[in-house]
């Protein structure tokens, strides 16, 4: 009888925990005003630039399990400064398989090709997205003009050389520094 009670309590705990985790995935605190003007596609979320004739842009790869909308408050100031931002969504929200990771990198390449007027790109990512950004830079070192990794997991040394990585003293992307680099 006691074993049966413990099993039911464990099952109830597992169901409640799963429900809580599924509910916590939602993006909170992103108002409709921040998402206004963005283009939400199956593969990415595009924040258009508010200026014409811009030749620099930012491609940001989401982290595992994080909705693209969650990055909008952090990246919207870059779009407000006049630079287009493309937030790449991971396949299945986690990209668990190598084929999913390859698909995410194909999404980055398609997004860059879709905006042919942009000549210089910053490739950035959070967590797994940062690792994928590093992989993209490693596979095509002449592709991006700059890299930015935000809380990225370690890359095996065989996949990327130390020359492709650089330390960031703090994790911020001030608009003024961005403007100075991109113009």
What is the DSSP code (8-state) at residue 142?
T
Which CATH number belongs to the domain containing residue 141 in this structure?
A: 3.40.50.1820
Pick from 161, 56, 61: nearest CA to 106? 61
- The torsion region of residue 85 among left (phi > 0), alpha (psi -120 to 50) and beta comes to beta
Q: Which domain holds residue 51?
A: 39-154+161-182
Per DSSP (E only), the strands in 25-169 are 39-40, 44-47, 56-61, 85-88, 120-126, 146-150
More confident residue, 172 or 45: 45
- Establish if 117 belongs to a structural domain: yes
pLDDT score for 133: 87
Q: Average pLDDT for residues 141-148, to the nearest whole number?
A: 68
Q: Which residue has the tokens 């407000």?
A: 80
Q: Residue 118 and residue 112: Cα distance in Å, rounded?
A: 8
9: its two tokens:
């309590």
Q: What confidence score (pLDDT) does residue 61 get?
A: 93
- Residue 82 domain flag: yes
pLDDT at residue 178 above 60?
no
Interval 13-47: pLDDT, tens = 999 888 777 665 566 666 666 666 667 777 788 87
Both tokens of 150, joined, read: 């935000």
Average pLDDT score over residue span 106-114: 90
* Phi, psi at 180, each rounded to 5°: -65, -40
Q: Is residue 105 part of a domain?
A: yes
- Residue 141 inside a domain? The answer is yes
Pick the closest to residue 148 from 87, 131, 55, 163 (CA basis).
131
Distance CA 167, CA 113 (A): 29
Look at the chain and report how many structural domains it folds into.
Answer: 1
In a domain, residue 12? The reply is: no
Backbone angles phi, psi at 10, to 5 degrees: -65, -45
Residue 79: inside a domain, yes or no? yes
- Where does 19-62 show beta strands of DSSP type E? 39-40, 44-47, 56-61
Inside any domain, residue 53? yes
Pairing type for strands 44-47 and 39-40 reads antiparallel
81 contacts: CB under 8 Å, gap ≥ 6: 175, 178, 179
pLDDT at 93 over 70: yes
DSSP letter, residue 89 = P
55 within a domain of the structure (yes/no): yes
């Amino acid at each position: 009888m006691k074993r049966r009670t413990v099993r039911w309590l464990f099952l109830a705990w597992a169901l409640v925990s799963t429900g809580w985790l599924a509910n916590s995935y939602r993006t909170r605190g992103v108002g409709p005003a921040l998402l206004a003007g963005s283009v939400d596609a199956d593969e990415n979320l595009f924040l258009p630039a508010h200026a014409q004739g811009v030749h620099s842009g930012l491609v940001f790869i989401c982290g595992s399990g994080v909705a693209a909308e969650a990055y909008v408050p952090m990246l919207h100031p870059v779009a407000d400064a006049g630079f287009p931002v493309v937030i790449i969504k991971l396949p299945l929200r986690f990209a668990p398989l190598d084929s999913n990771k390859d698909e995410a990198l194909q999404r980055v390449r398609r997004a860059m090709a879709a905006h042919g007027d942009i000549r210089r790109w910053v490739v950035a990512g959070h967590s797994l997205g940062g690792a994928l950004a590093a992989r993209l830079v490693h596979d095509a070192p002449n592709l991006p003009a700059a890299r930015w990794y935000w809380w990225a997991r370690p890359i095996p040394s065989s996949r990327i050389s130390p020359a492709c990585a650089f330390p960031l003293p703090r994790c911020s992307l001030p608009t003024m520094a961005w403007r100075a680099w991109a113009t």
